[in-house]
Chains A and B, each alone.
Chain A
Amino acid sequence: MRRWNTGYYIKEGVAGIFSHGLMSFASVCIIIACLIIMGSFMLLAVNVDAIIDKFEKDNVVLAFIGDALSEQEARALESRIESLPNVEYATFISRDEAMQSFMEGFQDKSIFENLDSSILRHRYAVYMRDISQTEQTQRDLLAINGIVKVNANLTIARGFVTVRNIVSVVTIILVAILLVVSLFIMSNTIKLATYDRRDEIAIMKMVGATNGFIRWPFVFQGFILGLVGAFSAYIAQWVIYTLVSNFILRNYTIGIISLISFSQVALPLFFIFSAVGFGVGVCGSALAIKNYLRV
């Protein structure tokens, strides 16, 4: 006799879904709810991360060049600055450009008419890869011959790092909790469905079915319910996110908030939802049936 009958397992798994329709519906709803909550937190974290990224990019470090260096010599430092590990790129700002930029901040420019740009220093606007490394970058810049002063706003840098860390930790904790909660609820829901079928399981055991044979239809059932839940949650998440982001962009146009579009996260989110739906469905059903196999 054959030991593996995939057709039978799938048929029984599908039959189990329809013969315990209410329980199946409840399981799918729970998966959808948990995934939407989890997905919403993930999308929130991704957006916060993107906003912080944007702010980080605007947070430049100014490296001032000593007066002893001519403009040509000062410009020659660019390659050395850009070779530092945390420097994304550096833009040279000459004295004249600095003066021009300074004057733009004032309406009455006549007060600067007799002011020579030589009172200012040549400088570099340095853009960093990782804002948390600001202090180290400041030290590296000061170590370059010719750079006499570095202005870096360490308080803001530390603030960004703290916010990003808090958001990351909160997201990880929430996702982990929601995963455990979904697994627990799914497992209990399937356990209730399994309780309905305990006699069937007892008969299977009595006629000599192996634990694997008994488990597989339930695992297929969990697999199907998990995937149905995941796909439904994915579509719902898509619709909800699009509606919410459109609403925010329509009503809060101050420019600080720029939300990422769903298409940017669509693929990773699809895989995450599918993996969680699959994992919760399969593990939940495998856990649920465990107790009934100890006969």
Chain B
Amino acid sequence: MVQLIDVFKVYENGTKALKGVNFKLEAGEFAFLVGPSGSGKSTIIKLITGEVAPTDGTVLVNGFNVGTMKMSKMPYLRRSLGVIFQDFRLIKKKNVYENVAFAMYAIGASSREVRKRVPYVLQLVGLEDKAKMCPDELSGGEQQRVAIARALVNNPSLIIADEPTGNLDPARSLEIIMLLNKINELGTTVLVVTHEKALVDAFSRRVIAIDKGKIISDGLDRYKI
């Protein structure tokens, strides 16, 4: 599913973000990627989504080798992923339904396929009654659920959530993680990037801890950093 083998990443400005990172995420797993700011979490996400290429080492995602693949193949890698961001990244001029449908149209789905799939996904995240509302009319938690619905709508095999609870209060944060947990139980692999200790400790899940560009622990431990 996802495998990083001895991955190094040095940015153009000389910043050494990753220094020999190794880990593997199997299909159907749920894992937290934790670490302080500047530890290299975001770089790992960018490597998995193909936004950056590794300086050295191998990054394998859903059968694609991110370091060597052609740019023309990048959309196909991204179609196998669902990405959720801290700031939701919803289009303010589109309503809930359109924000989710947009992701389907983007990969060439027909209107018929969209009409069939979007209501189902909105129901899954509990927003079937708010389909006509615009993002600004929703709470932070609801906006994040729209983002989750958008990530889910193309039925990806892996969901990556980058600080999905960063803008939410503790109760809404817990709701979002529980929703991701439910999605994982339905068979989708989930990787949640966070630095919220309490949230990680609330779930007995795999925790990959990174600091200063190196993996410092990986297991069913609590958040140790």
B80 contacts across to A, CB distance below 8 A: 208
Q: How far apart sit A7 and B103, CA to CA, in the bound complex (Å)?
A: 16
Inter-subunit contact B79/A199 (CB<8 Å): no
Inter-subunit contact A1/B107 (CB<8 Å): yes
List CB contacts (< 8 Å) of A205-221 with chain B: 205-210, 213-214
Inter-subunit contact B78/A8 (CB<8 Å): no
Inter-subunit contact A19/B93 (CB<8 Å): yes
With A1-B113, A295-B51 already in contact, the answer to whether A207 and B93 are too (CB < 8 A) is no
B101 — nearest CB in chain A belongs to which residue? A8
Would you give the shortest CB distance from A44 to chain B, in whole angstroms? 45
Most buried by B among A1, A200, A214, A295: A1
- Size of the B side of the interface (Cβ < 8 Å), in residues, is 25
Q: How far apart sit A5 and B107, CA to CA, in the bound complex (Å)?
A: 10
B109 — nearest CB in chain A belongs to which residue? A1
Q: How far apart sit A208 and B102, CA to CA, in the bound complex (Å)?
A: 11
B81 contacts across to A, CB distance below 8 A: 208
Most buried by A among B106, B110, B154: B106
One digit per residue, 1 when the CB lies within 8 angstroms of any chain A CB and 0 when it does not, for chain B 85-118 equals 0000101010000000011011111110100000
Inter-subunit contact B154/A206 (CB<8 Å): no
A106 contacts across to B, CB distance below 8 A: none
- Given contact pairs A5-B108, A205-B78, a sample of 4 additional A-B residue pairs in the complex whose CB atoms are under 8 Å apart: A2-B109, A3-B108, A8-B105, A19-B93
- Interface residue ranges, B against A (CB under 8 Å): 49, 51, 75-81, 83, 89, 91, 93, 102-103, 105-111, 113, 150, 154
- Interface residue ranges, A against B (CB under 8 Å): 1-5, 7-8, 19, 199-200, 202-210, 213-214, 295
